[in-house]
A and B are shown apart, each in its own frame.
Chain A
Amino acid sequence: MGALQDEPLFSPALRQPRSLREAWELKSACAEQAVYVSGGTLLRTQWEAGTAAVPQVLIDLRNIAGMEDVTRDDDYLTIGSLVTLTACRRSGALASAGPAAAEAARQIAAPAVRNLATLGGNIASGYGDILPALLVHDAELAVYDGNLLRVQPVEAWLERRWSGAIPPAELVAGVRLPLDQGSGGSRLAVFRKVGRREAFTASLVTIAVTADWDAAARTLRRVRLAAGGGSGRPQRLAAAEALLEGAELSRSLLGAVYEAVEHGFASYDDPFAGEQYKKKTAGNLIVSELWQTLELKARS
Chain B
Amino acid sequence: MPDNFRLEEMGEMAGADIPAGPLYTLNCTVNGRALSLEVPPGRRLLSILREDLELTGTKRSCEIGRCGACMVLVDGRPVNACLTMAYQCGGAEITTIEGLGEAGLHPVQRAFLEEGGFQCGYCTPGMVISVVGLLRENPSPAQEDIEEALSGNICRCTGYGGIMRAVNKAIESGVSP
Contacts and interface: CB of A to CB of B under 8 A. Distances in A.
Interface string A9-24: 0111111100000000
Interface-centre pick from B71, B78, B133, B147 (highest chain A CB count, 10 A): B78
Contact of A11 (B22, B68, B133): B22
Given A109-B65, A112-B68, A40 B40 contact: no
Interface in B8-25: 16-19, 22, 24
Given A115-B79, A199-B151, A1 B64 contact: yes
A45 interface: yes
A299 to B, nearest CB: 26
B88 interface: yes
A36 B66 CA distance: 23
Contacts of A3: 60, 63
B42 A11 contact: yes
B17 to A, nearest CB: 7
Interface string B46-88: 0100000000000010111110100100100111101111011
B41 interface: yes
B149 interface: yes
B148 interface: yes
Contact of A40 (B85, B133, B151): B85
Contacts of B43: 6-7, 10-11
Interface residues of B, number: 39
Contact of A16 (B18, B60, B66): B18
Contacts of A60: 87
A16 B60 CA distance: 29
A40 B83 contact: yes
Contacts of A16: 16-18, 87
A116 B47 contact: no
A260 B17 CA distance: 54
A200 interface: yes
B96 interface: no
A113 B42 contact: no
Interface string B90-122: 000000000000000000000000000000000
A1 B63 CA distance: 9
Interface in A14-47: 14-16, 40-41, 44-45
B130 interface: yes
Contact of A113 (B22, B65, B133): B65
A183 interface: no
A109 B152 CA distance: 8
Contacts of B22: 11, 13
A111 B87 CA distance: 21
B42 A48 contact: no
A58 interface: yes
A14 B68 contact: no
Nearest to A90: B137
B157 to A, nearest CB: 18
Interface in A43-89: 44-45, 48-49, 58, 60, 62-63, 86
A63 B17 CA distance: 10
B70 to A, nearest CB: 9
B40 A44 contact: no
A6 B80 contact: no
A13 to B, nearest CB: 6
Contacts of A217: none
Contacts of B133: 111-112
A66 B136 CA distance: 28
Given A11-B43, A111-B151, 12 more contacts: A1-B62, A6-B40, A11-B42, A12-B40, A14-B18, A14-B41, A45-B83, A111-B78, A112-B80, A112-B152, A116-B80, A199-B148
Interface of B: 16-19, 22, 24, 40-44, 47, 60, 62-66, 68, 71, 74, 77-80, 82-85, 87-88, 130, 133, 147-149, 151-153
23 contacts: A1-B64, A3-B60, A3-B63, A7-B40, A10-B40, A11-B42, A12-B42, A44-B83, A44-B85, A58-B87, A60-B87, A111-B78, A111-B152, A112-B80, A113-B80, A115-B77, A115-B78, A116-B79, A116-B80, A116-B83, A116-B88, A199-B148, A200-B66
